[in-house]
């Protein structure tokens, strides 16, 4: 898989963390660079670890799936991307405002925003992607976007949250379609 494709996937996966980071920047009392750095570390670490875990799961069943691997990758990416778009478009529920960014809050947020990366890891195993390289890119991108998201949230507010998740979902669906079309030798 090309570095640009991995980077696009990383950007898409990081959109949930970016949106949560914006929300933290908006809602956490006295949010600053220290909090932005802390959430970046949590989100980046979980986004790095989850594809590795997914890859380990995927590699154990890879041989049984080789004939339909491109369909599985497409389905997983389209499902994740569609879910991101759906969650962004459905009626927003009232969210509890947090005033302190605790380690517990960050762990829960990091897990919630990195579940998609687990499924991507399964796809990477099927597609024989260098998982350490891909996971490192995903982790670094999540770290950077989480830091930036927190600082933007502090200054720009909730305006950006919905748009980031929709864009991420669209990119994941497009990457899935690209994988499918390449394996069908259409492109």
Stated pTM of the model? 0.73
C-alpha 133/C-alpha 113 separation (Å) is 20
Q: pLDDT band for 98, please (50, 70, 90 cuts).
A: low
Q: What is the mean pLDDT of residues 151-169?
A: 69
Instruction: Give which of 33, 34, 47, 25 is closest to 110, Cα–Cα.
Output: 47
Q: Inform me whether the pLDDT recorded for 39 exceeds 60.
A: yes
Q: Inform me whether the pLDDT recorded for 146 exceeds 50.
A: yes
Long-range CB contacts for residues 102-108, cutoff 8 Å, separation at least 24: 106/38, 106/39, 106/42, 106/43, 107/42
């Amino acid at each position: 898989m090309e570095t640009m494709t991995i980077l696009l996937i990383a950007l898409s996966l990081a959109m949930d963390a970016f949106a949560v980071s914006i929300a933290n920047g908006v809602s956490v009392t006295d949010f600053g660079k220290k909090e932005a750095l802390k959430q970046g570390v949590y989100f980046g670490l979980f986004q790095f670890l989850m594809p590795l875990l997914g890859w380990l799961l995927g590699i154990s069943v890879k041989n049984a799936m080789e004939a339909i691997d491109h369909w599985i990758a497409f389905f997983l990416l389209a499902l994740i991307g569609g879910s991101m778009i759906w969650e962004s478009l459905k009626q927003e529920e009232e969210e509890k405002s947090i005033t302190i960014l605790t380690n517990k809050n960050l762990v829960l947020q990091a897990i919630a925003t990195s579940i998609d990366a687990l499924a991507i890891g399964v796809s990477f195993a099927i597609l024989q992607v260098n998982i350490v390289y891909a996971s490192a890119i995903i982790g670094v991108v999540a770290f950077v976007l989480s830091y930036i998201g927190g600082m933007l949230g502090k200054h720009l507010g909730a305006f950006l949250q919905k748009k980031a998740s929709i864009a991420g979902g669209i990119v994941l669906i497009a990457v899935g379609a690209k994988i499918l079309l390449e394996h069908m030798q259409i492109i």
